[in-house]
Structure 1
């Protein structure tokens, strides 16, 4: 009986420590993913805002996730509200991706 009880206690202690260790790894993984997302942002300058067409013309640096060199090009925006947050000449950090076959700004942050 004592051996059975001792085994159960040890098993519970191991489960608690294993859970705590796994929770720590999850937190580290989330922090790493956030850092990677920030690093994946490209830098650019707004050249034109076309609210009617829902597009931005951006002079940008390399778009690593798309394998593109620096250039000026037109992008759709994922959210039309992005168009009212920027104006020509604004410097931005952004993430572009291919959405339904069109290059689209999916994340946009104005730089100070």
Structure 2
């Protein structure tokens, strides 16, 4: 009788620990998924229209939609460009997709694609 009770108790303990382990695995997966979504948001492109190209200063004025990664609303503003060669392909009125990041305290376009 003691062996039967001990077996039942051990079986319950194993089942309970397996359930707790599985629940822990699920929460870790959710956190990894959230971290990936955060990374995707940082790398997602914003949309805009070129309003001014200043090749001498290495700057670009863009009328843009919300910049999710910088928590900014839509507006028109001036950005530095990471690579001045980006400016040679642009003219006023071009529609662009871009990524802007804060680099050394300055808002900088780090990726750029013409639409």
Instruction: Report how many aligned residue pairs link the two structures.
Output: 80
Distance 1:44 1:50 in 2: 17
Show structure 1 runs of 4+ deviating over 6 A: none
Unpaired segments ≥5 residues, structure 1 = 1-31
> Could you say what secondary structure the match of 1:83 adopts?
helix
C-alpha distance after superposition, 1:18-65 (max 9, x if no partner): xxxxxxxxxxxxxx78xx379710000000000010000000000000
From 91, 103, 113, the counterpart of 1:109: 113
Tell me which residue corresponds to 2:12. Answer: none
Unpaired segments ≥5 residues, structure 2 = 1-35
Tell me which residue corresponds to 1:43. Answer: 47
Give the superposed CA RMSD: 2.2
Deviation at 1:79, TM superposition (A): 0.2
Tell me which residue corresponds to 1:90. Answer: 94
> Could you say what secondary structure the match of 2:69 adopts?
helix
2:74 is the alignment partner of 1:70: yes
Rg (Cα) greater in structure: 2
TM-score after normalising by structure 2:
0.64
TM-score after normalising by structure 1:
0.66
Q: Is contact 2:43–2:99 with CA below 8 Å preserved after alignment?
A: no
